[in-house]
């Protein structure tokens, strides 16, 4: 949903792009740094340093916002940069889910690792449904939208981690993972339906 509302953040993006363009770091450099912070956040989850994990993942997410803002400010957007940004996004999200496996999460309905798998699977299929629709030429433009796009997933994951810090029994964290698992797979189905429906109407 947030991926269709980029104009909400246009003013903020312009300011951030101008500020961080002053540093001698390329847009792709910021993208790579987001991956480094993702690795550090994953390590902190594995070692159960939750506060540090939150800081590193939040910083990585902010760097992911900066790379595009700097590229647009410098008029340096490239297909390679956009491709790298997408790849690093998937890696960092995978790092978060992998790190969650090492937290002492309780069983709620299913073992926590099952909810983590379903959440990650929904995330992958949501992204793949978009890529495959374009690859198979079902749509002319990038397929976006749906109830739980990457922006909403990351926000819910950050909230889940913060609540895990506040409530160390991690029950609320698992409930949020269940929500992500269910809604991300629902979003994948929304995008699959949209791709087929748009193609049916010849758009």
Q: pTM for the whole thing? A: 0.88
* Residue 150 CA, distance from chain mean position: 4
Is 169 an active-site residue?
Answer: no
pLDDT at 4: 59
When pLDDT is cut at 50, 70 and 90, the band that residue 122 belongs to is very high
The one catalytic residue among 3, 85, 89, 169: 89
| pLDDT at residue 2 tops 80 | no
pLDDT at 143: 76
Cα distance between residue 72 and residue 55, in whole Å: 26
Cα distance between residue 55 and residue 44, in whole Å: 10
Q: How far is CA 1 from CA 27, 28, 159, 184, in A?
A: 25, 26, 18, 12
Cα distance between residue 36 and residue 126, in whole Å: 24
């Amino acid at each position: 949903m947030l991926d269709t509302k980029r104009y909400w953040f246009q003013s903020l993006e312009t300011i951030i792009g101008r500020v961080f363009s002053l540093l001698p770091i390329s847009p792709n450099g910021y993208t790579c740094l987001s991956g480094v912070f993702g690795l550090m956040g994953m390590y902190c989850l594995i070692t159960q340093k939750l506060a540090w994990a939150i800081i590193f993942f939040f910083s990585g997410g902010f760097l992911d916002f900066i790379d595009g803002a700097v590229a647009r400010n410098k008029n340096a957007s490239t297909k390679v940069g956009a491709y790298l940004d997408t790849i690093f996004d998937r890696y960092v999200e995978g790092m978060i889910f992998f790190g969650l496996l090492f937290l002492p999460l309780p069983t709620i309905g299913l073992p926590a690792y099952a909810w983590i798998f379903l959440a990650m699977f929904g995330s992958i299929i949501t992204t793949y449904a978009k890529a495959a629709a374009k690859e198979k030429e079902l749509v002319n433009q990038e397929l976006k939208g749906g109830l739980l796009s990457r922006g909403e997933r990351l926000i819910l994951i950050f909230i889940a981690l913060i609540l895990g810090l506040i409530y160390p029994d991690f029950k609320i964290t698992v409930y949020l993972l269940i929500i992500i698992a269910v809604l991300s797979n629902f979003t994948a189905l929304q995008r699959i339906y949209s791709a087929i429906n748009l193609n049916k109407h010849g758009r």
